[in-house]
Amino acid sequence: MTQAATTHRVWKLGADVDTDVLAPGHAMKHGIEKIATYCLESVRPEFASQVRPGDVIVAGPNFGIGSSREQAAAVLVKLGVAAVIAPSFSGLYFRNAFNVGLLLLTCPEADRLQEAEQVALDTKHLAVISGTGERLACEPIPDFLLDMARSGGLMNQLRIRFGKKATQ
Amino acid sequence: MKAAVPQTLAQKLIARAAGRPSVSPGDIVTCEVDLAMFHDSSGPRRLKPMLEELGAQIWDKSRVVLVMDHYVPERDDESRRIVRIARDWAREQDLPHVYDSQGICHVVVAQHGHIRPGMFCVGGDSHSPTGGAFGAYMFGIGSTEMLGVVVTGEIWLRVPQTLQMHWRGRLQKGVTAKDMMLHMIGRFGMNGGQYQAVEFAGPAVQALAMQERMTLSNMSAELGAQVGLIAPDEVTAAWLQAAGAPASELGDLSRWQSDESADMTRHEFDAGALSPFVAAPHSPANADVVGRYSGTPVDVAYIGACTGAKLDDLRAAAEVLRGQRVATGVRLMVAPASQKDQNAAREEGVLQVLLDAGAELFPTACGACAGYGETMGDNTTVISSTARNFKGRMGSASAQVYLASPYTVAASALRGVITDPREVLA
């Protein structure tokens, strides 16, 4: 599978993007909708207003370091970000992301992707296909986590477990 | 009977919680949770609506601890709303363990004897590895995952490798656990722990008082480790006895240590050679010996947070400031980590020493460390005993925050510039 129907626009960020720039402390008292308007304000002020559903973030190593606040992942879901692609993630952020239904792809060669490039995602075999057709392999993810992301997060799985209807 | 394969402390703690004789790094296991701790920000405001939607109940209220520490004291309508939800929910649920405005969760749960060697605990806060100082496997999780724990009593885990930080020798006077951590974070980086288990060991660690050990485990978060463990010993037992967890309830502590031949990566450090460390803006990993930054003028000296305002931290600051006043133009802010620590500091005269030196006293809450309470203004240079100096975390994005030990923060307040505390203590 080298040709995918859907492509995703890349927002390229640097290394060590922390939870406090994804979901700033001053905004944390608000609901997710409002926190999302401040997402990345101190490093990419235009991000929250210009990101489009389906876009992806490509970042440097250690994405998501810092706090346990899952809003730092939930804001990206709220803004419609399809995935974050980086060479490494904070372990705590990694858990939170899948719990709220955000796909993270650990991609050692993420840096080869460029700002505004259109990429495709192979979520079955875990790879990113660059604008020039180059295939960048990503590290494996346990099936139960992929299922969690696909079903929209842990809350949806719990809804089913407790006999409620899942939402999207 | 010994397990066939030698186990690290982390493996032993996980194996017990997973109900297995032993576990191997890389195994994905389900563990039963002994204690779930959360606060006003990560807890009720998020959990209550999700629990109601599921129509589910808390699996075991006796295993839940709620601490109001982030949005107290309430400063605006939003924080009043968040804290009210927590208080109402605690009453509604009839939760047996609630600490409202008593101090910061990581210090409060330990001081009330909730964390004991051998336990498997989760906390709705990234500094939850603090519990590792007591030989408990404790780590931070987000609110949705906490919901999963609260309704099932279980959580999944990938069994980590162990990175042992082995400290030989003994720290010099004026050098602390905080300096050890800044040194390690500077060397390995903020994700150097790769979400594995860090274990602090060696004579220099065993020589640390309990609250200093808590500082090591606390900042395992800044090393990117899942947990920061210390094998429990008589220091642990004595401290827990005073916290309401008598030795008779702790069982045999000697089983909670890594087997001699367990497979781990070991890094060696010489405590005697360690200088005070400072982390420059805007990362805890941006750390170097204090001499590198000596002479940098500071506007604010902040002693606060679970990391840096426990009784031992207040004592260290008082040792530097006794009988002296902070430099003209420097604001010394002190926000003790808990009511218990503040009361003890008052009884010992430590608090008076700080007030006489010109300190302003702030509530026993998370405060400016997490960007709440009275935060740092534009272009302010701050030296702080807290754990994180991310851009904008403590207030303005133009604030320049340096991290250091309480000794170094106090010495810098005294001189008005970043100062090696050994010069003042000498």
Asked, for residue B99, whether it belongs to a domain, the answer is: yes
Q: Is the pLDDT score of B151 beyond 90?
A: yes
Give the domain CATH number at B316. Answer: 3.30.499.10
The residue of chain B nearest to residue A165, with distances taken between CA atoms, is: B54
Confidence of residue B426 (pLDDT cuts 50, 70, 90): confident
Q: Confidence band (pLDDT; 50, 70, 90) for A4?
A: very low
Helix axes B311-321, B406-415, angle to 10 degrees: 30
| Among A68, A153, A164, beta carbon nearest to B42 | A68
Q: Which of B270, B291, B315 is the last residue of a domain?
A: B270
Q: Which residues are within 8 A (CB) of A49 and not within 5 positions of it... i.e. 6 or more apart? A: A37
| Other Cβ atoms closer than 10 A to B93 | 18
| pLDDT tens per residue, range B265-321 | 999 999 999 999 999 999 999 999 999 999 999 999 999 999 999 999 999 999 999
> Measuring CA to CA, which residue among B102, B134, B103 is closest to residue B34?
B134
B279 touches chain A (CB under 8 A): no
How many domains, chain B? Answer: 2
What is the crossing angle of helices B339-348 and B311-321, to 10°? 40
Q: Which residue of B has its CA nearest to A30?
A: B78
Residues of chain B found within 8 Å of residue A144, distances taken between Cβ atoms: 156
Contacts of residue A109, Cβ cutoff 8 Å, sequence gap at least 6: A87, A136, A137
Residue B256 lies in a domain: no
Name the band, by pLDDT with cuts 50, 70 and 90, for residue A167. confident
Please state the φ and ψ torsions of residue B267, each to the nearest 5 degrees: -115, 135
Inspect the interface and report whether the beta carbons of B391 and A21 lie closer than 8 Å: yes
**A62 and B189 in contact by Cβ < 8 A?**
yes
Q: How far apart are CA B401 and CA B368, in angstroms?
A: 12
Identity at A138, one-letter amino acid code: C
Cβ atoms < 10 Å from Cβ of B398? 12
Q: What pLDDT, on the 0 to 100 scale, is given for residue B373?
A: 86
User: How high is the pLDDT of residue A1?
Assistant: 40
Q: How far apart are CA A14 and CA A139, in angstroms?
A: 20
Do B92 and B139 reside in the same domain of the chain?
Answer: yes
- The pLDDT score that the predictor gives to residue B372 is 87
Q: Which of residues 293-312 of B touch A (CB under 8 A)?
A: none
- Residue B96: pLDDT above 80? yes
Specify the DSSP class assigned to residue B121: E
**Mutant choice from B144, B147, B396 vs A, greatest count of A C-beta within 10 A:** B144
pLDDT, residue A2, reads: 43
Residues B91 and B226 in one domain: yes
| B220 plus B79 within the same structural domain | yes
Using alpha carbons only, give the angle B59, B60, B64 rounded to the nearest 5 degrees. Answer: 110
Of the three residues B251, B270, B289, the one that is the final residue of a domain is B270
CA nearest A157 in B: which residue?
B148
Distance CA A167, CA A153 (A): 10
**Do B286 and B368 belong to one domain?**
yes
Contact between B134 and B333 under an 8 Å Cβ cutoff? The reply is no
For residue B248, the SS3 value is: helix
> Containing H/E element for A127?
strand A127-129
* H-helix segments, B222-333: 234-242, 305-308, 311-321
pLDDT tens-place string over residues B120-135:
999 999 999 999 999 9
Is pLDDT at B66 greater than 90 in this prediction?
yes
Q: Is the pLDDT of residue A3 over 60?
A: no
Look at A66 and B82 and tell me if their CB atoms are within 8 Å.
Answer: no
Q: Could you tell me which residues come within 8 angstroms of residue B52 by beta carbon, excluding any fewer than 6 positions away? A: none
Residue B199 belongs to what domain range? 9-241+262-270
Amino acid (1-letter code) at residue A163: G
Residue B254 belongs to a domain:
no
Chain A residues interacting with chain B (CB cutoff of 8 angstroms): 16, 18, 20-21, 24-26, 28-30, 42, 61-62, 65-70, 73, 88, 90-92, 94-96, 99-100, 142, 144, 153-155, 158-159, 162, 164
Calculate Rg over the CA atoms of chain B.
Answer: 21
User: Are both B147 and B20 inside the same structural domain?
Assistant: yes
Q: Are B122 and B141 in contact (CB under 8 A)?
A: yes
Tell me how far CA of residue B142 lies from CA of A38, A151, B391, B395, in angstroms: 20, 18, 22, 23
Strands B98-100 and B120-123, by their bridges, are unpaired
Asked if residue B124 is part of any domain, the answer here is yes
Strand partners, B198: B163, B228
User: Is B285 found in the same domain as B218?
Assistant: no
Check whether residue B187 and residue B53 sit in a common domain.
yes
What is A78-142 written as a DSSP string? HTT--EEEES-B-HHHHHHHHHTT-EEEE-TTGGGS-TT-EEEEETTTTEEE-TTS-EEE-----
Do residues A79 and A132 make contact, with C-beta atoms less than 8 angstroms apart?
Answer: no
Asked whether B403 and B278 are in contact (CB, 8 A), the reply is yes
State the ipTM, two decimals: 0.95
Alpha-carbon separation of residue B271 from B130, B206, B207 (angstroms): 21, 12, 11
Does A31 score more than 80 pLDDT?
Answer: yes
Whether the Cβ atoms of residue B353 and residue B187 lie closer than 8 Å to each other: no
Shortest CA distance from A63: residue in chain B:
B191
Q: Give tens-digit pLDDT for A99-118.
A: 999 999 999 999 999 999 99
Residues B266 and B284 in one domain: no
Q: B82 with B48: CB under 8 angstroms?
A: no
Same domain, yes or no: B33 and B134: yes
Q: Give the ranges where B322-418 is alpha helix by DSSP (H).
A: 339-348, 350-356, 406-415
Interface test with B, best of A95, A98, A162 (most B CBs within 10 A): A95
Mean pLDDT across chain B: 97
| Pick from B151, B226, B372: CB nearest A91 | B226
Nearest to B307 by CA among B222, B426, B396, B226: B222
List pLDDT tens digits, range B184-243. 999 999 999 999 999 999 999 999 999 999 999 999 999 999 999 999 999 999 999 999
* Model confidence pLDDT, tens digit, residues B24-45: 999 999 999 999 999 999 999 9
Strand partners, A120: A129
**For residue B86, what are its two tokens?**
């927590």
> Cα–Cα distance between B57 and B254 in angstroms, integer?
37
Check residue B174 and give left, alpha or beta (phi > 0: left; psi -120 to 50: alpha).
Answer: left
Chain A positions in Cβ-Cβ contact with residue B226 (cut-off 8 Å): 91-92
Which two structure tokens, joined as six digits, stand for B318?
A: 């008082």
Q: What is the largest CA-CA distance in chain A?
A: 46
Q: Is there a single domain that holds both residue B237 and residue B347?
A: no
Q: In B64-209, which ranges are continuous DSSP H helix?
A: 77-93, 105-111, 143-152, 177-188, 203-206
Whether B42 and B130 share a structural domain: yes
B53 shares its domain with B185: yes
What 3-state DSSP class applies to B29?
Answer: strand
- pLDDT surpasses 80 at B1: no
Q: What is the pLDDT of residue A168?
A: 67
Q: What is the per-residue pLDDT across B160-190, written as a single tens digit (0 to 9) for each?
A: 999 999 999 999 999 999 999 999 999 999 9
Q: Considering only the beta carbons, identify the residue of A42, A68, A164 that sits closest to B392.
A: A42
Is the distance from CB of B114 to CB of B97 less than 8 angstroms? yes
Distance from A120 to chain B by nearest Cα, in Å?
28
pLDDT tens string A118-161: 999 999 999 999 999 999 999 999 999 999 999 999 999 999 99
In sequence order, what are the residues at sequence separation of 6 or more whose Cβ sits closer than 8 angstroms to the Cβ of residue B395? Answer: B368, B371, B375, B376, B377, B380
For residues B183 and A53, what is the distance between their CA atoms, to the nearest angstrom?
Answer: 42
- CATH tag for A8-161 (out of 3.20.19.10, 3.10.20.340, 3.40.250.10, 3.40.50.1370): 3.20.19.10
CB B284 within 8 A of CB B187: no
Residue type, A80: G
